[in-house]
Structure 1
């Protein structure tokens, strides 16, 4: 796809804002068809599927935020002139064609497309069948915005492929793919990694941990735990595991206090062997594999540790490397934790729910990357470009 001028891209986004507002009722009506057809046994997936007035407002805000950001393409990274007068300029450049595969969440059809398009990438959207009607109407909105500004609908396309067809497309794409972003659970990620023939940037599972140090302010700890667990159970930044240092003053009393608080929020509590000695009425885990599990439910596993190092080791072994938090009043201890935990985002005295493009000041996000190449954390506009070297000579030859 050719390079577009910033003004043209912004005009498309301006049109899209107007179209989303105009089609608000139609979008919500189409979404209701998906909601009515959805089997509600998976509450987290259902929550992600819902599009209401608030969600449409958020879609419009996402487009406005990206429109107001600087164009990430053609930005100079470095400029060097060598002793032989060869001028080497490194600049940002589009990836090319990005494929994103995601489950539920029709708002991804807006956020992923607006970011990819502003960064001058073509994007292929493979949404889940549960959001079919929602995604179709949103694609129509995009196509109207593109064509109103003299651009091809090919910039933003929804792929209507079944599982077997998607598998074949990944193995033998009908057009060149430069980057694939699977946004969903472990099964989806493994599916894409198994069949893709180009670069894959993983938006990994959550399974986030919080460690309560013996130097913690208990009031802060409880408030952060409740927020991280209950604010939005369907979020990949929600909390699943809490590790508490047994040397915390009044340890047993505080554990029972935490149990009481969690139960007021209808949180199911699981415990390890040691915590079970204190919270004896709670279900004790039978298989250590549960430490790997992302719950996406009002469920929390509480475990006991002896030291900071033990907590770090457990987190690095079992977590999804998404987000991890420490509650402590010891800043040196906090920095030790944050430097040694292998996660995309690490927190001191704060909820993991802040691992989000909007909350972190990035704006709309394509995904939360748990990979280390080429970026980790929220994938915003500036992260949807690669780089390209421009070398200027005057008949230079290497000798």
Structure 2
């Protein structure tokens, strides 16, 4: 795709803001068809599927925020002139074509596309079948905005492929693909990594851990745990596992207090063998696979650890490398935790719910990357470009 001037890209986004507001009721009505057809056995997936007035406002706000951000393409990274006179300039450049595969959330159809487009990438959207009606009308909104400004609809395109067809497309794409971002659960990520023939940037599952140190402020710990677990269970930044240091003063009393608080929020509690001695009425973990599981539900595992090192080792073995937190009043201990836990975002005395592009100052996000290349954490506008070297000479040859 050709490089577009910033002005034309912003005109498309301005049109899109108007169109989303104009088509608000039609978008909500289309979403109602998806909601009515959805079987509510997966509450987290159902929550992600909902589009209401508030959600449309958030879509509009996301487009507007990206419109006002600086164009990330063509930004100079470095500029140096060698002794032989060659001027070497490294600048940001589009990836080309990005495919994002995602489940449920129709708002991804807006956020992913607006970021990719502003960064001058063509984007292919493969949403889940549960959001088909919602995604179709949102795609039409994009196409209207593009055509109003004289651009091809090919810049933003929804793929209508079944699972087997998607598998074949990943193996033998019918058009050039430069990057694939799977945004969903472990099965989706494994599916894409197994079949893709181009670069894959993983938007990992959550399975987030929080460690309560023996030097924690207990009131602070409880507030953070409740928020991280119950604020939005469908978020990939929600809390799944709590590790409590057995040397915490009044350990047993505090564990029972935490149980009472969680039960008031209707949280199902699982415990390890050691905590089961205190909370004997709760189910004890029998299957080791639960330690790897992202719950996406009002469900929390509470376990006992002996030390900071024990907590770090447990988190690095089982977590999804998304977000991890420590509650402690000891800053040195916090830094040791944050340096050694292998996660995209590490927190000291704060909820994991802040691992979000908007909350972290990035703006709209394509996903939260748990890969280490080329970027880790929220994939915002500035992260949807690669780089390119421009070398200016005057007949130089290498000798």
What SS does structure 2 have at the residue aligned with 1:44?
helix
How far apart, CA to CA, are the structure 2 residues paired with 1:358 and 1:5?
A: 26
Cα RMSD of the aligned pairs, angstroms, is 0.3
How far apart, CA to CA, are the structure 1 residues paired with 2:242 and 2:67?
A: 40
Report whether the alignment pairs 1:124 with 2:116.
no
Indicate the residue corresponding to 2:9 in structure 1: 9
Distance apart, 1:289 and its partner CA? 1.5
How far apart, CA to CA, are the structure 2 residues paired with 1:48 and 1:83?
A: 57
What SS does structure 2 have at the residue aligned with 1:273?
coil
How far apart, CA to CA, are the structure 2 residues paired with 1:248 and 1:371?
A: 34
How far apart, CA to CA, are the structure 2 residues paired with 1:334 and 1:195?
A: 40
Indicate the residue corresponding to 1:355 in structure 2: 355
Indicate the residue corresponding to 1:376 in structure 2: 376
Distance apart, 1:125 and its partner CA? 0.1
Equivalent residues in 2 for 1:32-71, closer than 5 Å: 32-71=32-71
* Cα deviation code 1:59-99 (max 9, x no counterpart): 00000000000000000000010111110000000000000
Equivalent residues in 2 for 1:201-350, closer than 5 Å: 201-350=201-350
TM-score of the two chains, using structure 2 as the length reference: 1.00
Listed as ranges, the gaps of 5+ residues in structure 1 are none
Q: Which runs of 4+ in 1 moved over 4 A?
A: none
Distance apart, 1:287 and its partner CA? 1.5
Equivalent residues in 2 for 1:144-223, closer than 5 Å: 144-223=144-223
Distance apart, 1:41 and its partner CA? 0.3
Distance apart, 1:288 and its partner CA? 1.6
Indicate the residue corresponding to 1:85 in structure 2: 85
How far apart, CA to CA, are the structure 1 residues paired with 2:268 and 2:347?
A: 24
How far apart, CA to CA, are the structure 1 residues paired with 2:328 and 2:222?
A: 12
Distance apart, 1:274 and its partner CA? 0.4
How far apart, CA to CA, are the structure 2 residues paired with 1:176 and 1:145?
A: 24
How far apart, CA to CA, are the structure 1 residues paired with 2:154 and 2:398?
A: 42
How far apart, CA to CA, are the structure 1 residues paired with 2:46 and 2:283?
A: 27
Indicate the residue corresponding to 1:30 in structure 2: 30
Distance apart, 1:139 and its partner CA? 0.3
* Cα deviation code 1:289-317 (max 9, x no counterpart): 21000000000000000100000000000
How far apart, CA to CA, are the structure 1 residues paired with 2:40 and 2:144?
A: 33
* Cα deviation code 1:311-341 (max 9, x no counterpart): 0000000000000000000000000000000
How far apart, CA to CA, are the structure 1 residues paired with 2:184 and 2:29?
A: 25
Distance apart, 1:235 and its partner CA? 0.3
How far apart, CA to CA, are the structure 2 residues paired with 1:78 and 1:273?
A: 56
Distance apart, 1:20 and its partner CA? 0.2
Indicate the residue corresponding to 2:115 in structure 1: 115
How far apart, CA to CA, are the structure 2 residues paired with 1:314 and 1:255?
A: 19
What SS does structure 2 have at the residue aligned with 1:249?
coil
How far apart, CA to CA, are the structure 2 residues paired with 1:66 and 1:40?
A: 33
What SS does structure 1 have at the residue aligned with 2:297?
coil
How far apart, CA to CA, are the structure 2 residues paired with 1:396 and 1:32?
A: 65
How far apart, CA to CA, are the structure 2 residues paired with 1:32 and 1:153?
A: 26
TM-score of the two chains, using structure 1 as the length reference: 1.00
How far apart, CA to CA, are the structure 2 residues paired with 1:370 and 1:96?
A: 22
How far apart, CA to CA, are the structure 1 residues paired with 2:374 and 2:356?
A: 18
Distance apart, 1:281 and its partner CA? 0.9
* Cα deviation code 1:18-70 (max 9, x no counterpart): 00000000000000000000000000000000000000000000000000000
How far apart, CA to CA, are the structure 1 residues paired with 2:68 and 2:335?
A: 35
How far apart, CA to CA, are the structure 1 residues paired with 2:118 and 2:287?
A: 47
What SS does structure 1 have at the residue aligned with 2:389?
strand
How far apart, CA to CA, are the structure 2 residues paired with 1:203 and 1:269?
A: 27
Report whether the alignment pairs 1:138 with 2:138.
yes
